[in-house]
Amino acid sequence: MVDRVRSRHNTIRRLFNYANNPITITGFIVTTVSALTIIIFMIAELSGGFSNPYVGIFAYLILPALFVLGLIIMPIGMWRRRKKLLATGASLEELAVYPRLDFNDPHLRKIGMTVLLLTAVNAIILGSTSYLAVDEMDTVSFCGTTCHTVMQPEYTAYQQSPHSRVRCVQCHIGPGASWFVRSKLDGLRQVWKTAWGTYHRPIETPIHNLRPARETCEQCHWPMKHHGDKLKVFATFDTDEHNTASYTAMLIKTGGGSLDLGRHGGIHWWHIYSDNKIMYYAADKHRQKIVWVELTTPDGQVRTYTRKSDKLPPIAEIKAKARVMDCIDCHNRPTHLFKKPDHALDDVLAAHPDMQQLPFFKKIALDAINKGYKTHEGGMTAVQRAVLTYYQQKYPAVWSASEKLVRRAADAASRVYGRSYFPAMKTDWKTHPDNLGHRDFPGCWRCHDDEMSTADGKHTIPQDCDTCHIFLEEDSPKPPVFQDLMAQQ
């Protein structure tokens, strides 16, 4: 009995002795510090939560990994020291001696205090620098520029979008730990692909693992808000000598609201609010060819719409892959919109009436932009030069009278190119269809083509022009009068 107790004591002492080596001590420090930091993070999380999604990956992924790493290297150090000691001929009895720690010894006391102090300092440093590192990863410039070429198209479009002050992670990750971890695991795969250059050009869309958009978009856009109708004026310009203008004004029935709130209807209410639920199945990867749609109405009726001309896969496959319609099924380019150069030039001309006076400006700029260049920078310079050269050679009078204006117009044309074409990533406005509207891509008409009907033919997804908007002016040569009134406000 006594023997057994003594042998247990000896084992513990031996372990202490083995532990007295740099590797094990390092492991011990790593484990303790990460454990302490995890606890600090947990307390901080409980007392308010983090708004920053990267804190999650650090606190719950990297720190635990360090913690485990420390635990793993501790026994390795002990095993090595044991081997070494035994090799020097030490007996197991000798090894069972505790290292003598006498804190009356001032020298040892000093060392003890220093170790204690350094550990505390370490914990603080590790905690705060890692917090800063996490914060840095969260910034737009980290996401947008670290892999410069890869993200250039999305970053460029983003900088000029209504969301240019929204951080990438707010849409791509959103709050909460689980999506965070998912997206980061995917991020590791992406870093790997970037390092080896095996990523897709263009970067693939749709993003399959983007979390349901409502959870992210609705952090800022209140879902039940009734938007009413949205007034929109489309100004278009011809490619003739006078850049002839034409204006279309319409009220888009954005709507919203809910049955409970009383005020409801319009585009938003019909597709996303809990009152109605729309599921759909697309036959292609880019979700451009929609072949099956199911609507569940507020009173629980389920209607299925299909086209007679479409071949459908088995219903089991449809049910398994059908997607619940959410914000990004219409707003799929809320921030990375690669504008069609034609429309982008219309916007430039609408915003700068003086440029409308430059003969053939739209035609010259459009031809130069759509010509095709090897590099993004090369294209931007070439477009600018093409516009300048044109006026210098063909309209020397315009050039000498309004050189400044021509230069501004050339810069604007060059920027239009810069936003629409990214040769290195094989990305341009055609590779990423915009699903809002039906101007250049099928968009709303993927379903609203008057051909998707229920089997009994009673319901059809309507294409009538006043379903979604009301025209106030159509192809008018002058800007609508109310536009001037609004501008004066």
List the interface residues with ligand HEC, window 240-299 (CB under 6 A): 248, 252-254, 267-268, 270-272, 278, 280, 290, 293, 295
| Distance, CA of 114 to chain centre | 46
Comparing CA positions, the residue from 259, 263, 257, 270 lying closest to residue 224 is 257
Cα angle for residues 393, 397, 398 (degrees, 5° grid) = 85
In the complex with ligand HEC, the residue whose CB is nearer, 179 or 391, is: 179
Q: Which of residues 218-237 bind ligand HEC (CB under 6 A)?
A: 218-221, 223, 227, 230, 232, 234
Rounded to the nearest whole angstrom, what is the least distance from the CB of residue 199 to ligand HEC in the complex? 10
Contact predicate 38/64, CB 8 Å: yes
Residue linked to tokens 């856009």 = 221
In the complex with ligand HEC, the residue whose CB is nearer, 155 or 399, is: 155
Rounded CA gap, 400 and 305, in Å?
Answer: 62
Rounded to the nearest whole angstrom, what is the least distance from the CB of residue 452 to ligand HEC in the complex? 8
In the complex with ligand HEC, the residue whose CB is nearer, 85 or 468, is: 468
Q: Which of 13, 80, 214, 277 binds ligand HEC (CB under 6 A)?
A: 214
Rounded CA gap, 100 and 97, in Å?
Answer: 8
Q: Which of residues 101-140 bind ligand HEC (CB under 6 A)?
A: 140
In the complex with ligand HEC, the residue whose CB is nearer, 10 or 460, is: 460
Binding mask 325-344 for ligand HEC (x = CB under 6 A): xxxxxxxx-xxx--------
Q: Tell me: does residue 199 bind ligand HEC (CB under 6 A).
A: no
Contact predicate 175/53, CB 8 Å: yes
Rounded (10°) CA dihedral 148, 151, 154, 156: 0
229 Cβ neighbours under 8 A, 6+ residues apart: 251, 252, 253, 254, 255, 266, 470
In the complex with ligand HEC, the residue whose CB is nearer, 131 or 234, is: 234
Binding span for ligand HEC by CB under 6 A among 125-133, 206-214, 368-376, 413-421: 206-214
Rounded CA gap, 405 and 398, in Å?
Answer: 9
Rounded to the nearest whole angstrom, what is the least distance from the CB of residue 467 to ligand HEC in the complex? 4
> Residue type at 478?
K
Length of the chain (residues): 489
Q: Which of 175, 462, 479, 480 binds ligand HEC (CB under 6 A)?
A: 462
Rounded to the nearest whole angstrom, what is the least distance from the CB of residue 135 to ligand HEC in the complex? 16
Residue linked to tokens 């449809």 = 318
Comparing CA positions, the residue from 140, 130, 165 lying closest to residue 56 is 130
Q: Which of 75, 175, 187, 206 binds ligand HEC (CB under 6 A)?
A: 206
Q: Tell me: does residue 438 bind ligand HEC (CB under 6 A).
A: yes
Taking CA atoms, 136 is separated from 123, 231, 422, in Å, by 20, 40, 27
Rounded (10°) CA dihedral 390, 392, 393, 394: 70
Binding mask 413-432 for ligand HEC (x = CB under 6 A): -------------------x
In the complex with ligand HEC, the residue whose CB is nearer, 220 or 312, is: 220
Q: Tell me: does residue 21 bind ligand HEC (CB under 6 A).
A: no
Contact predicate 399/443, CB 8 Å: no
In the complex with ligand HEC, the residue whose CB is nearer, 27 or 255, is: 255
Print burial letters for 315-331: b (CB count within 10 Å at least 16), e (below 16): eeebeeebeebbbbbbb
> Residue type at 40?
I
Rounded to the nearest whole angstrom, what is the least distance from the CB of residue 179 to ligand HEC in the complex? 13
Q: Tell me: does residue 408 bind ligand HEC (CB under 6 A).
A: no
By the 10 Å C-beta count (0-12 exposed, 13-18 middle, 19+ buried), 223 is classed as middle
Binding mask 144-183 for ligand HEC (x = CB under 6 A): x------x--xx--x---xx--x-x-xxx-----------
Rounded to the nearest whole angstrom, what is the least distance from the CB of residue 230 to ligand HEC in the complex? 4
Q: Tell me: does residue 448 bind ligand HEC (CB under 6 A).
A: yes
37 Cβ neighbours under 8 A, 6+ residues apart: 59, 63, 123, 126, 127, 130
Total of chain residues touching ligand HEC, rule CB under 6 A: 76
Contact predicate 324/215, CB 8 Å: no
Rounded to the nearest whole angstrom, what is the least distance from the CB of residue 43 to ligand HEC in the complex? 27
In the complex with ligand HEC, the residue whose CB is nearer, 107 or 208, is: 208
Binding span for ligand HEC by CB under 6 A among 56-64, 95-103, 213-221, 389-397: 213-221
Rounded to the nearest whole angstrom, what is the least distance from the CB of residue 480 to ligand HEC in the complex? 14
In the complex with ligand HEC, the residue whose CB is nearer, 44 or 210, is: 210
